[in-house]
Structure 1
Amino acid sequence: MDGKLAVIGLGSIGSMALWQASRLSQDVVGFEAASPAHGRSAVGGDTRLFRMIYRGNPDLYPILERSRNLWAELEAETGQNILARTGGLSIGTKNGAYLTALLETTHTTGAEHQILSREQMAQRYPQHNLRTDDIAVYDPHAGALRTDRAVTAAVAAAQANGATIHTNTPIDNITETSDGVLITSGEKTWTFENVIISSGGWSRKLMPESLQTHTQPNRVFLTWFVAKDPALFSPEKFPVFIRIEEDRSMYGAPAVDGATVKATLDFRPTPIENAGAVPRELTPAEIAETTETVSEFFPGLYPNIVRSDAFPDLFTTDRSPLVGRFSEGSRIYCATGFSGGGFKNATGYGQIAAHEALGKRTFEGLDFVRPQRFITG
């Protein structure tokens, strides 16, 4: 055996799984096809939103709570400022479908929040040009996660705990044997007691066909704009936001670099064949819709895209991730398929993956992420 556990892919989730596994055992090894937080992975794009208020499955909330605590632990352990605690705004039409669903989930989870009227928003956050019937829900625990800083910090912490890292080592095949898992990269092979697959858009080729049919790599693009008055869009004055109207939607983060504001169309994934060949340039339609939306929502931003990029992620058919062993008794564990929304929970899911892959218990209520929902369903 070359170790108790191998983590394949050291991006959003894999870096956190490796960090958590290194707290449980010094006999863990991480494999990365390029380098941690490289610019073509799903980690790219400077920031991701962290928020406790959302619409959808209430079972996510315990993972969010755990993730929030673990982000603080990672900061304390590494001395890095990873989560800018800006607060967060969810903006939409009063009594509209978006905020109605969001508040229903929020009341179920009990997440702390405050409802802001249009007049209160105009006073507190004049950067937003609201429509007549708009209101907002404020999340005091939301913020902007520095993605590249988070991943490199987690990998460094794992190494400090004794983990071994192999960079520029793409894994070609994994084969489960009677007593372990054989992994291959070119002419090199290793055998581990257990393996976690956390390669994002590149995970598909390492999974069984029963799961491949329920997954698809997608392209997700991001855009940035220059603020006319950068001080108004600083992390101290401009919370992260999600705004969903009937005809337009956008999310974004403050000017963490002191000049440019991330403002991106909400959830526009497009299927791609190869995670390693993502079209980086925006289409004319993407440019037009983005600039039209920014022109309406933010008069304080110059309506010209100054930076854009696109990144791959693995999406599942039900948009819930794949977290768990391939089958009962399998030595191969997957933590992938986060469908464009995994980074805020990366520490929580990383801890779950590490503990379960090493035979430790986590908590109940995870059926919605288990791979068996596709294999048996």
Structure 2
Amino acid sequence: MDGKLAVIGLGSIGSMALWQASRLTDAVTGFEAHSPAHGRSAVGGDTRLFRMIYLGTPNLYPILERSRDLWAELEAETGQDILTRCGGLSIGAGGGSYISQLLHTAQVNGAGHEILSHEDLTERYPQHRLRPDDVAVYDPNAGVLRTDRAVTAAIAAAEAKGATVHINTPIDSITETDDGVAITSGDRSWIFENVIVASGGWSQRLMPDYLKAHTETRRVFLSWFVARDASQFTPERFPIFSRMYEDRAMYGAPAVDGVTVKATLDGRGTVTDDPDAFPRQLSEAETAETLETVSDFIPGLIPTVVRSDAFPDLYTKDRNPLLGWLSGTSRIYCATGFSGGGFKNATGYGHIAAHEALGKQPIEGLDFVRPERFKTT
């Protein structure tokens, strides 16, 4: 036996599962097909949004609360500045479904929030060009996460506690045996008591058929712009945002580098058959829609895409993650399928995966993420 637990994939969730597992045992090993926080994974793109107000099941809120606390713990443990707490705006038509659903979720969860009228929003955040009926829900606990810094910090923290890390080691197969789980990479093999699969857009290769039928790898793109006046788009003056208007949706983050503002179309991911081979550049249609939307929503950004990229991520049919054992008797634990929305909860998901995979703390109230939900559909 080579250890109690292997974590396959050290990206958004796997790095956090490794860190959390290292707090429980020094017999944990992480495997990364490339290098930590490499630019081709779903970690790429510098930043992700953190927010406590969202559209989704109320069962997600306890994970958000745990994630918020664990981001602070990771910062304290590593001395890294990972979560910039700058607040967040959700902008949409007053009385429309987007704002109404956000407010309902916030009220059910007891999440702190402030309703900004059209006049409030115009006065406080003039960077946004508003329509007459636009209002906003302000999330005071929101912020922007530095993805590459988070992942490398978590891996370093895990290694400091005794975890072993193999980089440039893609896993070819996983096989359950009577005693544990055998994994192979080329001509090398290992046996562990249990295994967490956290390979993001590459996870399908290691999945049983019943999960392959309910998942797909999608190409998600990001875009960045330069501001006409950079001082208006610092984290102190420009919160993260998500905006919906009819068939248009855009989200973004302030200029954490002092230069570029992330402003990206939402909900535009496309299915790809191969996470290693898909177009990284925006198509003409994607560029045109992005420019049209950013010119309409945020006129203070120069309407030229100065940087763009695309990344693979695994989506499930119901857009809820895969977090749990493949079956009641399996030794293989899934932590994947986060459908483009996993990073804000990466520490919380990593905590759940590590504790459950090591048999320390089964978590209740998570039927909506268990892989077995797809066995009957």
1:276 aligns with 276
Counterpart in the other structure of 2:371: 371
Residue in 2 aligned with 1:54?
54
Aligned residue for 2:309?
Answer: 309
Structure 1 residues 1-377: aligned runs within 5 Å: 1-377=1-377
- Residues 55 and 106 in structure 1, CA contact (< 8 A), matched pair in contact too: no
Check conservation: 1:195, 1:357, Cα contact below 8 A.
Answer: yes
Contact 2:17–2:349 (CA under 8 A) maintained in structure 1: yes
Q: Conserved in 1, the CA contact under 8 Å of 2:263 and 2:294?
A: yes
Q: CA–CA distance in 2 between the matches of 1:376 and 1:317?
A: 14
Q: Is the 8 A contact 2:356 2:363 kept in 1?
A: no
Query: Could you tell me which amino acid in structure 2 is paired with residue 231 of structure 1?
Result: S
Please give the alpha-carbon distance, in whole angstroms, between the structure 1 residues aligned to 2:208 and 2:3.
Answer: 23
Q: Secondary structure at the match of 2:303?
A: coil
**Counterpart residue identity of residue 68, structure 2:** R
SS in 2 for 1:310: strand
- Deviation, 1:362, is 4.2
TM-superposition CA deviations, 1:12-61 (whole Å, max 9, x none): 00000000000000000000000110000000001000000011211100
* TM-score computed with the length of structure 1 as normaliser: 0.99
CA distance, structure 1, for counterparts of residue 247 and residue 274 of structure 2: 31
Look up the SS of the partner of 1:39 in the other structure.
coil
Between the two proteins, the alignment pairs up a number of residues equal to 377
Instruction: State the 4+ residue runs in structure 1 displaced beyond 3 angstroms.
Output: none
Question: Aligned partners of 1:193 and 1:278: how far apart in 2?
Answer: 36
Residue type at the aligned position of 2:86: T
* Residues 268-308 of structure 1 deviation map (CA, whole Å, 9 limit, x = unaligned): 11000011113101111111110001101111110110000
Instruction: Give the distance between the partners of 1:376 and 1:222, measured in 2 at CA.
Output: 35
Asked whether the 8 Å contact 1:6–1:31 carries over to 2, the reply is: yes
Amino acid at match of 1:169: T
Q: Which amino acid aligns with 1:300?
A: G
Instruction: Note the C-alpha offset of 1:259.
Output: 0.8
Distance 1:234 1:362 in 2: 41
Q: Per-residue deviation at 1:247?
A: 3.1
Query: What amino acid sits opposite 2:188 in the alignment?
Result: K
Shift in Å at residue 165 of structure 1? 0.3
The amino acid of 1:57's aligned partner reads: T
Could you tell me how far apart the structure 2 residues matched to 1:122 and 1:376 are? 50
Maintained 8 Å contact 1:55/1:104: no
Q: Answer whether contact 1:184 1:190 (CA < 8 A) is retained.
A: yes
What displacement does 1:101 show? 1.2
The amino acid of 1:263's aligned partner reads: A
Equivalent position SS for 1:353: helix
State how far apart, in whole Å, the 2-side matches of 1:158 and 1:56 are.
31
SS of 2:363's equivalent in the other structure is coil
Separation in structure 2 between the aligned mates of residue 278 and residue 344 of structure 1, nearest angstrom: 25
Structure-2 separation of matches of 1:208 and 1:2:
24
Distance 1:101 1:136 in 2: 12
Is the partner of 1:24 in helix, strand or coil?
A: coil
1:85-108, Cα deviation, whole Å (9 max, x unpaired): 010000000001111111111111
Q: Which moved more, 1:271-280 or 1:42-51?
A: 271-280
C-alpha RMSD of matched pairs (Å): 0.7
For residues 363 and 315 of structure 1, what CA distance do their matches in structure 2 show? 23
Percent of paired sites with the same residue: 72
DSSP 3-state at the match of 1:250? strand
Tell me: CA distance 1:34–1:368, structure 2 relative to 1, closer, same or farther (3 Å).
same
Give 1:226's aligned amino acid: V
Q: Is the 8 A contact 2:195 2:333 kept in 1?
A: yes
CA contact (8 A) 1:85 1:142 kept: yes
CA deviation profile, 1:158-210 (whole Å, cap 9, x unmatched): 00010000000000000000110000000000000000000001111101001
Q: Deviations over 1:107-152 (max 9, x none)?
A: 1111000000111111111101110000000000000000000000
What is the TM-score with the length of structure 2 in the denominator? 0.99
The alignment partner of 2:23 has SS state of helix
Q: Secondary structure at the match of 1:203?
A: helix
DSSP 3-state at the match of 2:309 = strand
The aligned amino acid for 1:192 is F
* 1:218 partner letter: R
Query: Per-residue deviation at 1:376?
Result: 2.9
CA contact (8 A) 2:53 2:111 kept: yes
Deviation of the 1:80 alpha carbon: 0.2
1 CA distance for matches of 2:252 and 2:76?
Answer: 26
**Counterpart Cα distance in 2 of 1:112 and 1:305:** 35
